[in-house]
Amino acid sequence: MGPLKTIAIIILVISFLTFVAFFGRLPALRNTPIGALHRVIWLHIPGAMRSMDQRLSQGRLSTWMAKAAHTLWNDRHPLVMIFFILLLSVSEILFIPPAWPLMSISDRAITINLVLLPYIFLYASAVTDPGYITPENHAHQMSLYPYDFTIFHPGQKCHTCHLLKPARSKHCSICKHCIAKLDHHCIFINNCVGYRNQHYFLFLLFFTATLTTYATYLGTCLLSGQIRKEIPAWKIGGEGFTWSQYGNIWAWALQEYTRIGAVTLLCFLTSPLIWGLLGYHIYLIWAGTTTNESMKWSDWAAEMADGYAFKRRLSPDRHKDETIEPVWTRWPCDSEQVVLRTEDGMPPRGPHAIGEGGWERVWKLADVENLYDLGFWDNLTDVLRPRYGFRHREHNSNGQAIRSRPSSSGDVAAVADQ
């Protein structure tokens, strides 16, 4: 048990430090001990090491370390994914063998299924093409989403790929490709999360969160059962015991059943994080946006608050330059606004400004439309069934949606609502 106990403790420490490294810079945690520890890890320790290295090797070691760190952060490599797989499998090896004899048949069946699912979806997220944009598939990628003339404007080229950037795409400097509907590059799957693998990533989060939550529940029940053998009056909630007795009894159980205890504790600590991450992605889907776009929207919010953002009407019947604007085939609606920022806080001028009518200053995000938000269920469908086309939806002159139904030929025909 000695070495396994050490491994269990190392796992706990590493997970805690990983948590601090990833989440310590969140504004909400800035003034907490976690924020302070984050600064120690990322600022003070590297600073102290640099000044020591300056004295010992005139900075040669730091130059080498900076290069290695640059490679680690900017190149595709499976280091973090291997860490993730090890964390999963070592925890399972620690937990399952001692827990197996104590588990009921149904516990065992659930465990086998839940253990497999994160691996399956990790594999699917990691090996699926997230939506690489190549010269061969560029025309198709351009047809996925229309430009919203707010966060995505037509005619912009990727400087690396030398291709026009389709709406909602972004170049990933780690994958060295433009990716369709890029959400973010995820180091845990060593791949981008984009148009074609976003659903696998969501399932990975969901089943990993379910696994850790189930392990927390199962571990607590099993340990409680073992405590009851020693103390027949024991209940999970600790009724009839003082706080210190309660703490001591759990401490005894954790020591006596270190392997189950350490993994249960680890799962208890990590479950809220994974559910939180899944919740954040569900929120993004609800809002009809992606991690990448949410950053663009928050930049816009700042521009608007400063009074530098303007919008005006964009006619859906306007003449489109098809060399830069795609003929999109899936999305049910077209942008009816153009939103621009100006350097001087004055309305946009010049003959090139697109749109019609006067410019209206916008002060907040609520005043502009998000073209990519069709409502939660349609947004979710777009994520879960990435090849699905939506029925066309048009707007009348008052901006009210006109409901549509497929015509008998399979095309779409607009029918006025009301």
Catalytic site residues?
186
| 184 near Zn ion (CB under 5 A) | no
Scanning residues 368 to 407, which ones bind Zn ion (CB under 5 A)?
Answer: none
Least spacing, CB of residue 159 vs Zn ion, in Å: 8
| 160 near Zn ion (CB under 5 A) | yes
Question: Pick from 126, 144, 172, 333: which binds Zn ion (CB under 5 A)?
Answer: 172
Residues in the chain: 418
The enclosing H or E element of 337 equals strand 337-341
CA dihedral angle for residue 113, residue 116, residue 122, residue 128, rounded to 10 degrees:
-90
Least spacing, CB of residue 24 vs Zn ion, in Å: 24
The vertex-273 CA angle with 271 and 275, nearest 5°, equals: 70
Give, rounded to a whole angstrom, the gap between the first and last alpha carbons of the chain. 72
Question: Pick from 178, 187, 211, 223: which binds Zn ion (CB under 5 A)?
Answer: 178
- Region binding Zn ion by CB under 5 A among candidate stretches 84-92, 161-169, 283-291, 378-386: 161-169
Q: Which is nearer to Zn ion, 185 or 312 (CB)?
A: 185
Residues with Cβ within 8 Å of residue 374, at least 6 apart in sequence: 288, 332, 333, 382, 390, 393
The first and second tokens of residue 271, run together, are 């479950």
Of 262, 250, 265, 271, nearest in space to 8 by CA: 262
Residues with Cβ within 8 Å of residue 71, at least 6 apart in sequence: 77
| 80 near Zn ion (CB under 5 A) | no
Q: Which is nearer to Zn ion, 333 or 383 (CB)?
A: 383
- Region binding Zn ion by CB under 5 A among candidate stretches 140-148, 183-191, 263-271, 386-394: 183-191
Scanning residues 140 to 159, which ones bind Zn ion (CB under 5 A)?
Answer: 158
Question: Pick from 99, 161, 202, 278: which binds Zn ion (CB under 5 A)?
Answer: 161
Q: Which is nearer to Zn ion, 30 or 176 (CB)?
A: 176
Least spacing, CB of residue 9 vs Zn ion, in Å: 34
The first and second tokens of residue 238, run together, are 């600790």
- Give residue for tokens 């919008």: 311
Q: Which is nearer to Zn ion, 81 or 175 (CB)?
A: 175
Q: Which is nearer to Zn ion, 135 or 399 (CB)?
A: 135
| 296 near Zn ion (CB under 5 A) | no
How far is it, in rounded angstroms, from Cα 246 to Cα 235? 10
Residues with Cβ within 8 Å of residue 286, at least 6 apart in sequence: 376, 379
| 174 near Zn ion (CB under 5 A) | yes
- Region binding Zn ion by CB under 5 A among candidate stretches 64-72, 187-195, 359-367, 372-380: 187-195
- Region binding Zn ion by CB under 5 A among candidate stretches 11-19, 169-177, 212-220, 282-290: 169-177
The first and second tokens of residue 381, run together, are 């469908």
204 contacts 283 by C-beta, under 8 angstroms: no
335 contacts 314 by C-beta, under 8 angstroms: yes
How far is it, in rounded angstroms, from Cα 380 to Cα 203? 13
Least spacing, CB of residue 193 vs Zn ion, in Å: 8
Q: What share of the chain is helix, strand, coil (3-state, %, to 5)?
A: 55, 10, 35
Q: Which is nearer to Zn ion, 147 or 214 (CB)?
A: 147
How far is it, in rounded angstroms, from Cα 244 to Cα 240? 12
Least spacing, CB of residue 131 vs Zn ion, in Å: 10
Question: Pick from 99, 175, 223, 227: which binds Zn ion (CB under 5 A)?
Answer: 175
How far, CA to CA in Å, does 357 sit from each of 233, 316, 384? 78, 14, 39
395 contacts 374 by C-beta, under 8 angstroms: no
**Residues in contact with Zn ion, total (CB under 5 A)?**
10
Question: Pick from 153, 168, 170, 185: which binds Zn ion (CB under 5 A)?
Answer: 185
Question: Pick from 20, 151, 167, 192: which binds Zn ion (CB under 5 A)?
Answer: 192
Q: Which is nearer to Zn ion, 172 or 274 (CB)?
A: 172
Least spacing, CB of residue 123 vs Zn ion, in Å: 17
Return left, alpha or beta for 406; rule: phi > 0 is left, psi -120 to 50 is alpha, else beta. beta
Least spacing, CB of residue 403 vs Zn ion, in Å: 38
Q: Which is nearer to Zn ion, 6 or 156 (CB)?
A: 156
Least spacing, CB of residue 80 vs Zn ion, in Å: 13
Binding site for Zn ion (CB under 5 A): 158, 160-161, 171-172, 174-175, 178, 185, 192
